[in-house]
Structure 1
Amino acid sequence: MKTLQRSILTGLLFTTTCLAASAQLPVDSIAAILNKEVQLKRTPGIIVGTIDATGKREIISAGSYSDKKEIQPDGNTIFEIGSITKVFTSLLLADMVQKKQVNLDDPISKYLPASVNVPVIKGKPITLQHLATHSVGWPRMPDNYDPQNLDNPFSDYTVEQLYDYVSRSNFDYAPGTWFSYSNAGYGLLGNILTLIAGKPLETLVKERICTPLGMTNTTYVLTPEQKTKLAGGHTEYGAPAPSWDLPAIAGTGGLRSNMNDMLTFAAANLGLVKTDLYPAMQLAHVPHISKGKDGQVTLGWTLVKADNGDEFLWKDGTTAGYRAMMLLNRTKKTGVVILSNSLNEINDIAYHVLYPAIPVKTYRYTWAMHDLILETAKRKGADAAIEEYKTMKATRSPGLVYDVSQLNYVANDLRQAKKMKDAIKIFELNTQEYPNSSPAWESLGDIYKRNGKKKEAIEAYEKAVAADAKNDHAKWILEKLKAETK
């Protein structure tokens, strides 16, 4: 995993005060926005779907979903939807509650193997509801991942590792105290549901959600035909990004889908599609814990109330090269879905579509420095690139952004190009430029570790922990490295 890459599955939160009454944006205006954003390099390809109170759908797209030829995305183009997967996982839970198979307040220890030592904090056990509302107390990611493939970081993460993380976890406050977004929690929830049902998560989602709703292209594992329709993912600066596989924690972000299916799911959650799942969907929409000014957490969703009384549900998702957003106005029975094959933010476009008074953020391509340094490193080597970087920084070349992620991406691109010596030099430069950055030291430690430099790796990870005592992943890797050297 790219240590400095934006964390998966984060969203741009909006406050209730900015949601004033306004009409939904017309199709022509949406098309103009999408074409402009593609030209500005926000994304190579993007598709927007809207639905009104009558159930009428509109699909508008721009750009291309293929790097090989210009092919505009349509309703059948498949994207990774990241954390929108969570509302499918929570719907499975709600459906099991409706069917009297489980209770929300069931302790998770009831369903996990006896070998898993589930913590009880301040006399309160962790429950299914805590997992589904991000109120356990766990951080965003588990600490114990050390992938073979950095570009598909959780493809080899196992259920046994997840159980180990749960057994070692500890915190100072009782579960249910406050919101703390956790992919580990949702990964565990998906695992528990498979144990309860005795079926793989893929089977559960298809049998209980996709088949009843007629969603034929929402899946964890793509068929050969579906792979031909998968949009190619891209980094923030437009380079191809690999797809992610999350077998052990699939319930947190492993689904792929297309616009046709996503609009069906949106319509069902708005009550515009007749389905036996609607009572479970309504249960999943009930708020359980506050996020302060950012709304309330339901089972998987965030619920926000606008000044005019309208209620909104939203969920977004992010993987290495994709963004997805679903925003529903429960009061007016309208909604918007956006799918993009870029890591760049799209949530502002969704808000603007439903409420044009909320402006689209002006996108500015900020990766010119990265592009210049990377090109020089590939042509002339890292030493020349470093000299060029220092000259540009000293002369304050206009239009260039200097931050820790620019150099980190250059180094990772060199690593992917198998230019390891050059990659290491740029990672080292990053720690020299940003000596107080824990992620910079962690990235350097990781590349040292993968190139057999364990002593140097330990030193780098020690500095990562010194820079941020809460960097649990760096702590875990450091302990592992020290144990291996004994």
Structure 2
Amino acid sequence: MGSGFPDDAKIRAILMDRIDARRRGVGLVVGVIDQDGHRIIGYGKVDKGDHRIPDGDTLFEIGSVTKTFTSLLLADMAERGEISLHDPAAKHLPVGVTLPTRGGKQITLFDLATHTSGLPAMPSNFDPGDLANPFGDYSIDRLYQFVTSHVLSRDIGTTYQYSNLGVGLLGHILELRTGLDYETLVRQRITGPLGMASTAINLPPALTARLARGHDQGLRPVRNWTLAALAGAGALRSTANDLVRFMAAELGFVEISLGRAMSAQLRPRRPTDTKNMETALGWFVVKTPTREVAFHGGGTAGYQSFLGIDLARRMGVVVLGNAFAMNGVGDIGFHLITGSPLAQDNRPVRIALGAAALERYVGRYRVLPTAVLSITREADRLFAQLVIDGAEQQRSAYELHPDAPDHFYWDADDTEISFQVGPDGRVTGLVAHRYGRDTQGIRLA
């Protein structure tokens, strides 16, 4: 390709470093497209216990990249005259369901699509019964209960606040307007016309067989998410091949009826709280002195995704990974499409401790009156997991990395753990340093 993407070997080297050296993933797939064609590069595994290399047909949860599809549906319906971007959102809700107002203004569909509705990131009545699948039991009734009673604390149409709730509500309104469920609506209006046969929510056996296993930040397997009421915010699964087809349409390489709607998505803009970044309909647009790049990222408990397009240079990139990891995929996408530097690990240099040395730390440590920190070992790797007393669900497990004897850190945030050792060499407790605060943990028998 002559328009600026690195060759396959250089892209694969980035993926190898991310997975093998930094342990930031299990499997990664990159798709790039420009005027010369497209390429797919995969590295790693579809599952820690499955040595198949992920490729263009491997499915991943794409999380919030789904929002670009939701807003494309909105733009397409507006182009067809079925709906108006500036319709009050409440107009399309059932009788008895209201939306909050502020300063005499109503929330519009455009406000929902651009994260400027004043609604919060998540509803306050979001209380998962299953932490491993947190959106699975959030119902339409609970959504209606929240929006009907909520009082806005921000002005409508002027203040940016990223909102899964807002775009999830938008997707539901489009369902109501068409009488179709979200998945069917996406299939009929977008993925069907584009030939994206591997993009779906509910997977038949043939697609399930190609779904990569998700992993948490400790690279441990996690369950897949289901989103019911808020499907438009992040329910889709897809492949690199399908998303390359999607970008081909966005870049004008194929003539489709959605072309006008795709262009319309990027015209209206509102500012965000990040310098040189605006929000369009379902896309964020980063401006540099020489170009604009429209992008969106996504993440669920076990996956990360990135989609970016440079319309002027007619380039697009997709990055998919089956682990939720810091510095996972977004910086790779920006690096490939803009040349920006890859993210660096600003953490201490790790040292190697063998399985026997790590075993002495294994145990349970009381860190709160109602919670213990469980330290476990898998071969030569140590993991920490917060366990709430009496709760069936546990928090995600994070890998601990040693940078000195008896001192570890984990990648989820800036947490450091120092193990305390008695005169007899036995580990008696720990101190967790997090957000400038120390928490003592006493080892339980």
TM-score by length of 1: 0.73
Aligned-partner Cα distance in 1 for 2:97–2:56: 43
Structure 1 residue 77, shift from structure 2 partner: 0.2
Q: Which position in structure 2 is the counterpart of 1:346?
A: 329
Q: Runs of 5+ in structure 1 lacking a partner?
A: 1-21, 410-425, 441-486
Structure 1 residue 148, shift from structure 2 partner: 1.9
Q: Which position in structure 1 is the counterpart of 2:194?
A: 213
Q: Which position in structure 2 is the counterpart of 1:360?
A: 342
Q: Which position in structure 1 is the counterpart of 2:395?
A: none
Residues 416 and 434 in structure 2, CA contact (< 8 A), matched pair in contact too: no
Counterpart secondary structure, 1:293 = coil
Q: Which amino acid aligns with 1:194?
A: E
Q: Which amino acid aligns with 1:352?
A: H
Structure 1 residue 140, shift from structure 2 partner: 1.4
Q: Which amino acid aligns with 2:169?
A: L
Aligned-partner Cα distance in 2 for 1:406–1:77: 33
Q: Which position in structure 2 is the counterpart of 1:401?
A: 409
Change (3 A) 1:434 1:68: closer
Aligned-partner Cα distance in 2 for 1:352–1:187: 30
Counterpart secondary structure, 2:69 = helix
Change (3 A) 1:406 1:197: same
> Given the alignment of the two structures, is residue 275 of structure 1 paired with residue 256 of structure 2, yes or no?
yes
Change (3 A) 1:364 1:238: farther
Q: Which amino acid aligns with 1:351?
A: F
Q: Which position in structure 2 is the counterpart of 1:50?
A: 32
Q: Which moved more, 1:86-95 or 1:108-117?
A: 108-117
Q: Which position in structure 1 is the counterpart of 2:56?
A: 75
Aligned-partner Cα distance in 2 for 1:403–1:349: 18
Aligned-partner Cα distance in 2 for 1:368–1:85: 40
Q: Give the counterpart of 1:199 among 158, 180, 186.
A: 180
Q: Which position in structure 1 is the counterpart of 2:282?
A: 300
Change (3 A) 1:158 1:34: same
Structure 1 residue 146, shift from structure 2 partner: 1.8
> Given the alignment of the two structures, is residue 161 of structure 1 paired with residue 169 of structure 2, yes or no?
no
Q: Which position in structure 1 is the counterpart of 2:118?
A: 137
More helix by share: 1
Aligned-partner Cα distance in 1 for 2:111–2:296: 18
Deviations 1:264-297 (A, max 9, x none): 0011111112111010011111132112514111
Equivalent residues in 2 for 1:14-29, closer than 5 Å: 23-29=4-10
Q: Which position in structure 1 is the counterpart of 2:78?
A: 97
Aligned-partner Cα distance in 1 for 2:31–2:258: 22
Counterpart secondary structure, 2:187 = helix
Aligned-partner Cα distance in 1 for 2:180–2:231: 14
Change (3 A) 1:44 1:167: same
Aligned-partner Cα distance in 1 for 2:279–2:156: 15
Residues 407 and 416 in structure 2, CA contact (< 8 A), matched pair in contact too: no
Q: Which position in structure 1 is the counterpart of 2:227?
A: 246
Please provide the CA RMSD for this pair: 3.4
Aligned-partner Cα distance in 2 for 1:101–1:68: 49
> Given the alignment of the two structures, is residue 120 of structure 1 paired with residue 128 of structure 2, yes or no?
no
Residues 76 and 258 in structure 2, CA contact (< 8 A), matched pair in contact too: yes
More strand by share: 2
TM-score by length of 2: 0.80
- Between the two structures, name the one with larger relative contact order (CA 8 Å, sep ≥ 6): 1
Residues 237 and 365 in structure 1, CA contact (< 8 A), matched pair in contact too: no
Counterpart secondary structure, 1:351 = helix
Aligned-partner Cα distance in 1 for 2:186–2:351: 42
Q: Which position in structure 2 is the counterpart of 1:30?
A: 11
Counterpart secondary structure, 2:275 = helix
Counterpart secondary structure, 1:401 = strand
Residues 416 and 433 in structure 2, CA contact (< 8 A), matched pair in contact too: no
Structure 1 residue 174, shift from structure 2 partner: 2.6
